[in-house]
Structure 1
Amino acid sequence: MRKRAISTSAIKQQARKAAGVVAAPTKSLKALADNGGELHGPSPNPATNLVIADIALRTGTTIARRAVERAVLGASYSPRKAKSILKGRTITETLLHGALARVAIGSVPGAIAVGGALIAKTLYDRSRARTARAEGAKDLHEMAKDGAQDA
């Protein structure tokens, strides 16, 4: 009995089919638009769809980030004080945190540098836990006062 050889591409295709993965379309967006094909999204203009997607993703990310920040602070503080602390952050702190996140996301060396710095800071704080806890509580108390004044 002769065995039939199966190519790796045929195996991959069968695996995709079994997993329910649909093959990528072979036509480009320009070809679809030229052929009267329909593009996905609320607008027929792909640039508008990109703007809508960008705004939706940024909004979702911001909401998720705020929820995580409140949850982290909520473990030690009341929801009201946590909200005041988050309102009391300075523009400089917000911009610095955003810049560090972009550096960490931008490249592997950036992620290693930022992650390494955070690990070093955590280990430093743990080595002087009592003093760091007092300093952190003082800083958060000041931020909460600033946030309460803004409200």
Structure 2
Amino acid sequence: MSKRREELRRKVARGQARARGEAVPGLSPNPAANLIMANAIVRTGSILLRRAVDKRMLRGRYGKDTAEAAAENQGLGSTLTALALSKVAARSSTGAVVVGGGMLAKALYDRRQAKKARAKGDAKILEDAADA
């Protein structure tokens, strides 16, 4: 018998043991509830980490208070754009290449337009901080 087939047999046996009422590891005896809880924990951690990185990146240039206000007051459009890009990049290597290439093109374009981009970016950050 092949290793793959034996591995599948073990997985089926574990599933049958759970069906017989044996304990399921996790917070809840319901495996679906455990997955939902784990997903919520991971997403919460991701959001907190992203906010901390955003604040840290802005703090050196704008000061602590302005950086916190700008990071906390991001618009729905930028949040949805970031979500969509991350979903596309995570689904396939082609998507990751396309998103990465787009980010590289945007960075190169901004470097080329440095003065205009710096003034525009400063105005946007200060505007977002003022809205808070």
Shorter-chain TM-score range: 0.7 to 0.9
2:88 equivalent among 93, 99, 103: 103
**What displacement does 1:34 show?**
3.2
**Could you tell me the TM-score, scaled by structure 1's length?**
0.74
Aligned length: 125
**Could you tell me the TM-score, scaled by structure 2's length?**
0.84
**What displacement does 1:139 show?**
1.1
Structure 1 stretch displaced more, 74-83 or 32-41: 32-41
One-letter amino acid matched to 1:104: A
Unmatched segments (≥5 aa) in structure 1:
1-8, 10-22
Note the aligned Cα RMSD (angstroms): 2.0
**What displacement does 1:127 show?**
1.3
Percent identical across equivalent pairs? Answer: 38
> In 1, distance between residues paired with 2:22 and 2:109?
59
CA contact (8 A) 1:85 1:141 kept: yes
Change in CA separation of 1:48 and 1:78 when aligned onto 2, cut-off 3 Å: same
One-letter amino acid matched to 1:37: E
Aligned to 2:30: 45
Unmatched segments (≥5 aa) in structure 2:
none
1:63 equivalent among 35, 40, 48: 48
Instruction: Compare CA radii of gyration and give the structure with the larger one.
Output: 1
Q: Which one has a larger percent helix, Structure 1 or Structure 2?
A: 2
